[in-house]
Amino acid sequence: MLLKSMFVPLFTAVPARGHPGKLSVCSVRNVVAQRCPPNCRQNGSSNTASLLLLHKLPPISAYIHLPFCRKRCHYCDFPIIALGSSSSNPGNDEDDPRILNYLETLCREIKATKLDSANSPPLETVFFGGGTPSLVPPRLVSSVLDALSYKFGVCSNAEISMEMDPGTFGEGKLKELMNLGVNRVSLGVQAFQEELLRACGRAHGVREVYEAVKIVKSCGVENWSMDLISSLPHQTLSIWEQSLQLTIQAQPTHVSVYDLQVEQETKFGVLYSPGEFPLPSDNQSAEFYRVASRMLRDAGYDHYEISSYCKSGYRCKHNSTYWKNKPFYAFGMGSASYVDGVRFSRPRRLKEYMDYVQNLEIGLTNCSEDDIFDAKDLAMDVVMLSLRTSDGLDLKSFREAFGDSHILSICEVYRPYVESGHVICLDGQGRTIAVNEFLSSFSNEFWRNEKLAYLRLSDPDGFLLSNELISLAFGAIAP
């Protein structure tokens, strides 16, 4: 059963590769700050560029890792810094030296980043993830946005998202953040049951969830997402249905659903074995996934990516950068960037991260040569990322970039899955191509004549098999 590993946010899921370990000296060019135009043309990092060239474009997205949490949740193996509790007086965080020092280093990292083109376009999306970014005082968030504007420019209509946890912000703080430009809130709700929240080691309870929703609404945030976790210990189907029902009632414009992944080094990893009581069995987890897909779609949400749902027009632009294999910057401890075709993960420990930034400032980095580019790896990344989405794999651009042979071999390995309905073939207008038409094409090679325009995984059963199906495609590309 392959359910478990597929819900990991891409932030950690994309393997870092292609950066040689050797130390080399890179020139740090001083680039004059770019002031942003009032409104950005949306084709900055063009949709029409060949898949082979996308990674050469300058990024227009930035991920910012703000690692602070009250305490570590029992399932979490992210690079975080637990501050301990000071919830009675939220103002206490204002001058916490750990937060001040980290944010100072983070801004230095942004400023020391090497820009490859003197006229790189301003950022169109910024995502503050964590950790619990909403623990960081707004004036320090402002310093990060200033550093980004100074270095890259930020479009006035940029999507600026922040992960926020119930119980860590009030109306005043959210309004301040909105004044700084934050216009999308990703609310870490996870569950609607006191016992489950406690069992996860979450710092908030159900009351804080409702309060947070009320605050988000009263501040008039149009774009907000609720994050939920399925397959928690002691979670039953009816408890899960209740969480989904309450989520639907709250009417967020976006919902992210992650299946619990039990990591070795976490408290859950010590306490529980995957698939064994009190964790749900793999079959139950799969059922949770199907129920989420059915209930959310029935409530008008578009299931546009394996773990993401949204009301029409509310896809997360930042995350779409990932699915489209477009480049993005990342700043902060443990964060992973994709610039110039190179995925690079920063150190996960504070001390090493600080050293890394210091080296960056004096021009010492483990930077890559330009020619480590491998077309097969790129083809696999494109397959893996695009098959996570409901748009699926765009065969026209894939063919233009990588030729016919990969498509032919992918179609061959997918043949039984087209028959079983896990893989769906679409024409250029997004209409489903009948299975027998697909099968008969193996004699007349119709994938060459562009009728077959997209391959996608079916929802929910194809998505549930995504790991297996993506591995099969990998085998077809690089046998």
Cis status of the peptide bond prior to 460, with omega within 30 of 0: yes
Distance (Å, whole) CA 433 – CA 436: 8
Cβ nearer to ligand NAG, comparing 149 with 320: 320
236 touching ligand NAG, by CB under 6 A: no
* From 152, 224, 314, 344, residue interacting with ligand NAG (rule: CB under 6 A): 314
Residue 288 interacting with ligand NAG (CB under 6 A): no
Out of 142, 143, 183, 390, the only residue in the binding site for ligand NAG (CB under 6 A) is 183
Find the radius of gyration of the CA atoms of the chain.
22
Closest C-alpha among 60, 64, 62 to residue 121? 60
Residue 448 near residue 404, CB atoms below 8 Å: yes
Place of tokens 């896990």: 422
Minimum distance of ligand NAG from residue 44's CB (angstroms): 5
* Per-position x/- string for 94-113, each x denoting binding to ligand NAG as judged by CB under 6 A, each - no binding: --------------------
Three-class SS of residue 384?
Answer: helix
Q: For ligand NAG, which stretch binds (CB under 6 A), given 25-33, 37-45, 67-75, 95-103?
A: 37-45
Between 46 and 236, CB nearer to ligand NAG: 46
CA dist 153 and 415 (Å) reads 47
- Chain centre to alpha carbon of residue 111: 24
Q: Which of 5, 15, 17, 23 binds ligand NAG (CB under 6 A)?
A: 23
Residue of the chain from 75, 127, 224, 454 that contacts ligand NAG (CB under 6 A) = 127
- Shortest reach from residue 300's CB to ligand NAG, in Å: 16
Please work out, in degrees rounded to the nearest 5, the angle formed at the alpha carbon of residue 159 by the alpha carbons of 219 and 429: 120
Cα separation, 469 vs 387, in Å, equals: 9
Which of 28, 375 has the CB closer to ligand NAG? 28
The structure tokens listed for 380 are 């696999």
Which tokens go with 216?
């988000």
Please say which residue, 193 or 308, places its beta carbon nearer to ligand NAG. Answer: 308
Q: Determine if 358 is a binding residue for ligand NAG (CB under 6 A).
A: no
Nearer to ligand NAG, 63 or 272 (CB): 63
* SS3 (DSSP) at 363: coil
Smallest gap, in angstroms, from Cβ of residue 461 to ligand NAG?
11
Neighbouring residues of 222: CB distance < 8 A, sequence distance ≥ 6: 183, 253
- Residues 6 or more apart whose CB falls under 8 angstroms from that of 320 comprise none
Cα–Cα distance, 457 to 190 (Å, whole number) = 26
Stretch that binds ligand NAG, among 133-141, 218-226, 290-298, 390-398 (CB under 6 A): 218-226
Distances (CA, A) of 467 to 7, 14, 140, 406, 464: 10, 13, 40, 18, 8
By CB under 6 A, residue 61 contacts ligand NAG: no
359: which 2 tokens?
């080296």
Residues between 132 and 161 that touch ligand NAG (CB under 6 A): 159, 161
Return the residue of 5, 15, 24, 46 that touches ligand NAG, per CB under 6 A. Answer: 46
Q: How far apart are CA 28 and CA 111, in angstroms?
A: 11
Do 125 and 317 contact (CB within 8 A), yes or no?
Answer: yes
Q: Which residue in the block uniquely carries the two structure tokens 């009263």?
A: 218
> Which tokens hold the place of 144?
């990060």
Residues 425-444 that bind ligand NAG (CB under 6 A): none
Residue 335 interacting with ligand NAG (CB under 6 A)? no
The answer to whether 21 touches 366, Cβ cutoff 8 Å, is yes
| Closer by beta carbon to ligand NAG, 91 or else 220 | 220
Residue span binding ligand NAG (CB under 6 A) among the ranges 238-246, 292-300, 307-315, 462-470: 307-315
Beta carbons of 181 and 154 less than 8 angstroms apart? yes
- Count of residues engaged in binding ligand NAG, rule: CB under 6 A: 34
Residue among 95 and 276 whose Cβ is closer to ligand NAG: 276
Per-residue mark of binding to ligand NAG, 387-406 (x: CB under 6 A): --------------------
Between 41 and 217, CB nearer to ligand NAG: 41
Q: Give the range of 38-46, 373-381, 434-442, 450-458 binding ligand NAG by CB under 6 A.
A: 38-46
CB-wise, 204 or 315, nearer to ligand NAG?
315
Select the residue interacting with ligand NAG from 7, 11, 289, 301 (CB under 6 A): 11
Render 282-329 in DSSP notation, one character per residue: HHHHHHHHHHHHHHHHHTT-EEEETTEEESTT---HHHHHHHTT--BE
Q: Which is nearer to ligand NAG, 40 or 379 (CB)?
A: 40
| 129 forms part of the interface with ligand NAG (CB under 6 A) | yes
Half-sphere exposure for 133 (CA within 13 Å, toward CB): 29
Residues within the interface to ligand NAG (CB under 6 A):
9, 11, 21, 23, 41, 43-44, 46, 63, 127, 129, 159, 161, 183, 186, 222-223, 225, 227, 254, 256, 281, 283, 308, 313-314, 316-317, 319, 356, 359, 364-366
